[in-house]
A and B are shown apart, each in its own frame.
Chain A
Amino acid sequence: MINPDEQILWEYGFFKLNLTIATTWGLMLVLVLVSWLITRRLSAGLEISRWQSVLEIVVLGIRDQIKEVGIPNARVYLPFLGTLFILIAFAGLCEIIPEYVPPTSSLSTTAALALCVFLAVPAYGIAESGLGGYLKTYLQPTFFMLPFNIISEISRTIALAIRLFGNMASGVMIASILLSIAPFLFPVIMEVLGLLASMVQAYIFAILAAVFIAAGVREGEKNKKDNDKKQNDG
C-alpha cells in the first residue's frame, strides 16, 4: 500500500510538499491551462470549435445533472459541484499514466473533499434561506430529530470520504497486486475496469454532494415559504 501523503518531495520548516499535493497541483495546472487555452478564443456564433464543443458538452452535462437532482438555480452550484466531478474524474483518468498515484487514493484528499461538501451544505443553505431558515432544517420533522439530523450530517460526510478513498485506493491496490501475480494481459483489463470505477466514483461523489446540498437548500426554502405563508395568513 502506497500512501502518497508519506512521500515527501520537498520540505522547508512547516511546509512540506508531498506527492498528493504535488500531483494535485499538476492536475490543477493541466485543467486550468486547458480551460484557458480553449476558452480564450470562444465563439458566441453558430460555428464553434471542436474543443469548445467538448467543453460545452461537459459543462452543460454537469449543469443538467444538477438540475435533475432538483436544484432549480443550477448555475450557482455549478462551479463547486462541477469542479468536484472534474477533479475526481480527471484524477481517476490519469491512472493510465505509468507510475501515477491518484491524489484521491489518499484519505487526506478524499477527507478534504468530503469536508468541503460538509461545509458547503450549510453554507449554501444559509446563503439560500438565511441562518435561521437553515438551522430550522435540523428540527425537521420534529424537535426530537435534532440529534439524528446532526449525526446524519457528520456520518454522511465520513461516508463520502471513506467511499471515495476506498474505491480509489482499492483500484490502485488491486492493479498493483494483480501486476505481481498475473501475466501482463490481466492487469490491463483491471486497469480499464479501474478507469470505469473512477468515473463512476466521480459521478457518485458529485451527485451525492449535489443531493446533500439540494436537501439543505430545499428544506430551507420550504421553511421560508411556510414562514411567508404564516405571515401572509397572520
Chain B
Amino acid sequence: MLIDWYTVGAQILNFLVLVWLLKRFLYKPILKAIDEREEKVRARLEEAEARKDEARKEKEEFRQKNKDFEEKRESMMNEAAEEARNKRRELLEKAREEAEELRGRLEKAIREEKENLQQEVGDNIRREVFAITRRVLSGLASQSMEEHMARAFLRRLREAGEEEKKELAEALGQAEGKAVIRSAFELPSALQEEIQEAVCGLASTGIRCRFETASEKISGVELTAGGYKIAWSVDEYLRRLETKLDELLSEKEKEELQTTTASDGSS
C-alpha cells in the first residue's frame, strides 16, 4: 500500500503546525515590516509633497512681496521726485524773491547814498559859499563900514517892533540896567552916545551901556542884556540866512521823503 494513513495524519498535523509557525515567524513580521516601511515612505512622500506645496506657496508669497515692494519703491521714488521738484520750485521762488528784495534794498541804499551825497555836496557848497562870503566881508571890514553898520543897528533898534521893544525892556530890567554893546572895532564916541540914548529911550529906568570890542566878529554891532540879544552884524545876518536856508532845505527833504514813500507804497 502506497498510502500510510498514519503518516498522512501526521503530515497533515505537521503541515498545519508549519503553517502556524511560519505565520508566526515569517509572514506576519515580514508583512508588518513592509507595511510599516510603505507607511513610512508614504508619510515621507506626503511630507515632501506638503513641503513642496509650502515652498511653492512661500515662493508665490515672496514673489508677491517682491512685486509689492517694487511697486512701493516706484511710488516712493515718484513721490520723492515730485517732492524734489516742488522743493526746487519753492527754493527757486524763494531765491528769486530774496534776490528781488536784495535788489530793492540795494537800490534803496544806492538812492539813499545818492541823496546823502547830494545833501552833503549841497551842505558843503553852502558852507563854502558862506565861508567865502565871510572871508570877503571880513576882508572888506573897516572902521567906516563899522560905522555904517552901527547906524544900521541904530535904525534897527529904533524901528524895532512893539513886541521886541517890550522884551528888550524886560531883559534890561532883569539885568539891572546893565547892557553890553559889542563890536569888532572901537565905535566913535558920538555914535556910542547915540546908541546909549536909543537904548535909554527903550527903557524907563536908567541904563548904563558898556562898549566892548570882539575881534572874532566879522563886522557889526550887538547888544546883550540879561538873556536877550539884539544885533545887526554880517555874522548875524549870515547866520540868519543860513538858518533860513536850512529850514527851507529840510522842508524840501521832508516833501521828497513823503513822495518817495508814497511811490514805494504804490509800487
Which residues of A come within 8 Å of B, CB atoms? 3, 5-6, 16, 18, 20-21, 24-25, 28, 31-32, 35-36, 39, 42-46, 48, 52, 55-56, 59-60, 75, 78-80, 82-83, 86-87, 103, 106-109, 111-113, 115-116
Q: Does B15 have its Cβ within 8 Å of any Cβ on chain A? A: yes
A79 with B7: CB separation less than 8 A = no
Of A25, A28, A42, the contact of B30 (CB 8 Å cutoff): A42
Of A16, A56, A109, the contact of B11 (CB 8 Å cutoff): A109
Q: Does B248 have its Cβ within 8 Å of any Cβ on chain A? A: no
Which residues of B come within 8 Å of A, CB atoms? 2-12, 14-23, 25-27, 29-34, 36-37, 40-41
B7 with A106: CB separation less than 8 A = yes
In the complex, chain A residues whose CB is within 8 Å of the CB of B29: 39, 42
Given A46-B41, A107-B2, A80 contacting B34 (CB threshold 8 A): no
Given A39-B25, A45-B37, A87 contacting B15 (CB threshold 8 A): yes
In the complex, chain A residues whose CB is within 8 Å of the CB of B40: 44-46
B4 with A108: CB separation less than 8 A = yes
Main secondary structure on A side of the interface with B: helix
Of B4, B12, B20, B33, the contact of A43 (CB 8 Å cutoff): B33
Q: What are 28 sample pairs from A and B whose C-beta atoms fall under 8 A apart?
A: A20-B7, A25-B14, A28-B14, A28-B17, A31-B22, A32-B21, A32-B22, A36-B25, A43-B33, A48-B37, A52-B30, A55-B26, A59-B30, A78-B27, A79-B20, A86-B22, A106-B4, A107-B3, A108-B3, A108-B5, A108-B11, A109-B8, A109-B11, A111-B8, A112-B10, A112-B11, A113-B11, A116-B16
In the complex, chain B residues whose CB is within 8 Å of the CB of A18: 4, 7
Distance A201 CA – B5 CA, assembled complex (angstroms): 23
Distance A6 CA – B4 CA, assembled complex (angstroms): 9
Distance A113 CA – B12 CA, assembled complex (angstroms): 7
In the complex, chain B residues whose CB is within 8 Å of the CB of A79: 19-20, 22-23, 27
Closest 7 pairs (CB-CB, A-B): A112-B11, A44-B36, A108-B7, A79-B23, A35-B26, A39-B29, A35-B25
In the complex, chain B residues whose CB is within 8 Å of the CB of A106: 4, 7
Distance A42 CA – B34 CA, assembled complex (angstroms): 10
A28 with B21: CB separation less than 8 A = yes
Q: Which residue of B lies closest to A78 (CB)?
A: B27
Least distance between B7 CB and chain A CB atoms (Å):
4
B11 with A24: CB separation less than 8 A = yes
Distance A83 CA – B28 CA, assembled complex (angstroms): 13
Least distance between B28 CB and chain A CB atoms (Å):
8
In the complex, chain B residues whose CB is within 8 Å of the CB of A87: 15, 18
Q: Which residue of B lies closest to A87 (CB)?
A: B18
Distance A164 CA – B146 CA, assembled complex (angstroms): 187
Distance A82 CA – B22 CA, assembled complex (angstroms): 9
A111 with B3: CB separation less than 8 A = yes
Distance A26 CA – B16 CA, assembled complex (angstroms): 15
In the complex, chain A residues whose CB is within 8 Å of the CB of B4: 5-6, 18, 106, 108
In the complex, chain B residues whose CB is within 8 Å of the CB of A78: 27, 31
